[in-house]
Amino acid sequence: MGTRGSALALAQSGLTARALEALTPGLTVETVVIKTSGDRFSAGAPDAPVAPSGGAKGLFVKEIEEAMLEGGIDFAVHSSKDLPARLAAGTLIAAYPEREDPRDAFVAEGGAALEALPAGARVATSSLRRIAQLRLARPDLKTVVMRGNVDTRLRKLGEGACEGLLLAAAGLRRLGKAGEVPHVLVPVDVILPAPAQGALALQAREGDAKTVELLAKLDHAATRLAVELERALLGALGGDCATPFGALASPAGKAVELRAFLSEEDGSRPRRLSRRCDDLSRRDAFAADFAAALRG
């Protein structure tokens, strides 16, 4: 099993390994940690690659996909939101385990809610998506760009670098911090999450039937339905775009409700749109029409 080496990536891949071993008596999953271009980019390393014009999303999976195609690993565990719209040729997503809460979490001293912050308070995030929507909800707040892992950001909050943080709730939960870090979940009509946020993706080689069959034991149908529709919209918008973009699909019987947010990079021209996909056999056409309407 290939994974990035961050605390969150190791927690997520560890959960996956234990689940597979529990379902398959005698199975042992070996963890192979792979440092990606995205890790070097986020850390500001001297040898870090320059982010492509579409953003750094694909940099977090590039070396892992290469290791899989070369046979160094059998499968990989990714945060689905890190995946580019197009997977590496010769690979597929064998399973989307059941999704964690996709919402963002607001973390502040004492567990204060976002709406309780005084005017001029500083909220930290490195996400253009969050910044654009935060400015719509609370134009009186200041945004502070903050990178680093969850522990680094929590430490900076404690040191007074900001009055609040926006993080993915799923990350707090998978790291076991949800009970110890006071936080408030942000309603999706205030800040819509990134497409596929909260979902894991188990990627394998096409043609490796044994591994694909093994991973498929963890596939969650409702999660796959929602995540694939969100990713279809991402692809229809050009995939991996650096513009502020959020999307969340909610299965409703045999149909799926899809909500999206899009703005220009500076937060101008914000627009929200919600549509219902009743015929999932036309998912890609639906996503293309949705994208066209969202672009305005």
Are 109 and 157 found together in one domain? yes
pLDDT of residue 40: 56
Q: Has residue 193 been placed in a domain?
A: no
Whether 251 shows a pLDDT value over 70: the answer reads yes
The predicted structure's pLDDT at residue 37: 72
Q: How many other C-beta atoms lie within 10 A of the C-beta of residue 230?
A: 28
Domain boundary pick from 159, 185, 211:
185
Partnered with residue 2 across adjacent β-strands are: 32, 76
- CATH code for position 271: 3.30.160.40
Same domain, 46 and 69: yes
Confidence of residue 296 (pLDDT cuts 50, 70, 90): confident
**Mean pLDDT of all residues in 224-248:** 90
- Cα separation, 275 vs 95, whole angstroms: 26
User: Distance between CA atoms of 287 and 232, rounded to whole angstroms?
Assistant: 6
Same domain, 1 and 88: yes
Q: Let me know if residue 192 belongs to a domain.
A: no
Same domain, 145 and 277: no
pLDDT of residue 254: 85
Considering the domain architecture, whether residues 3 and 44 belong to the same structural domain is answered as yes
Q: Quick check: 68 pLDDT over 80?
A: yes
CA-CA distance, 172 to 177, in Å (whole number)? 5
My answer on whether 154 and 9 are in the same domain is no
Give residue 197's identity as a one-letter amino acid code. Answer: Q
Q: Is the model's pLDDT at 58 over the cut of 90?
A: no
Flag whether pLDDT at 46 surpasses 80: no
Domain membership flag for residue 58: yes
Judge if 205 and 80 occupy the same domain. yes
Measured CA to CA in angstroms, residue 282 lies from 54, 216, 232, 288 at distances of 27, 24, 11, 10
Judged by average pLDDT, the poorest of 52-61, 120-129, 130-139, 258-267 is 52-61
- Give 72's pLDDT tier (boundaries 50, 70, 90): very high
Mean pLDDT of the region 67-92? 94
Please report, for the domain that includes residue 11, its CATH number.
3.40.190.10
Whether 204 and 79 map to the same domain: the answer is: yes
Is 89 in the same domain as 119?
no
State yes or no: pLDDT of 49 exceeds 60.
no
Across 59-68, 164-173, 233-242, the highest mean pLDDT is recorded for: 164-173
Q: Are residue 203 and residue 72 in the same domain, yes or no?
A: yes
Both tokens assigned to 41:
């980019």
- The DSSP secondary-structure symbol of 187 reads P
* Mean predicted confidence (pLDDT) in 21-43: 84
Token pair 């919209």 is found at: 233
Q: Is beta strand 164-168 parallel, antiparallel or unpaired with respect to 200-205? A: unpaired
Tokens matching residue 73: 């690993």
Q: In this structure, are 7 and 87 located in the same domain? A: yes
Residue 79 domain-assigned? yes
Instruction: Give pLDDT tens digits for 228-239.
Output: 999 999 999 987
Residue 273 domain-assigned (yes or no): yes
Question: Alpha-carbon distance 259 to 240, whole Å?
Answer: 18
Q: Taking 50 as the threshold, does the pLDDT of residue 219 lie above it? A: yes
Model confidence pTM above 0.85: yes
Give the count of domains, the chain.
3
DSSP characters over 45-95: -TTPPPPPTT-SGGGGTHHHHHHHHTTS-SEEEEEGGGS-SSPPTTEEEEE
Contact 126, 120 (CB under 8 A): no
In this structure, is residue 191 part of a structural domain? no
Q: Residues 207, 243: one domain?
A: no
Q: Of 162, 185, 208, which residue is a domain's last?
A: 185
Residue 52: pLDDT band by 50, 70, 90 thresholds?
very low
Give the active site residue among 74, 82, 104, 208: 82
Catalytic annotation present for 82: yes
Cα–Cα distance measured from residue 110 to residue 181, given in angstroms and rounded to the nearest whole number: 9
Share of the chain above pLDDT 90, in %: 82
Mean pLDDT of 206-232: 97
Domain hosting residue 83, numbered range: 1-97+199-219
Residue 271 lies in a domain: yes
Q: Using one digit for the tens of pLDDT, what is the confidence trace for 86-122?
A: 899 999 999 999 999 999 999 998 899 999 999 999 9
pLDDT band at residue 280 using 50, 70 and 90 as cut-offs: very high
* 203 is a domain residue: yes
Which residues are 77's β-sheet partners? Answer: 202
CB atoms within 10 A of CB 179: 8
Q: Assess contact for 134 and 191: CB atoms under 8 A.
A: yes
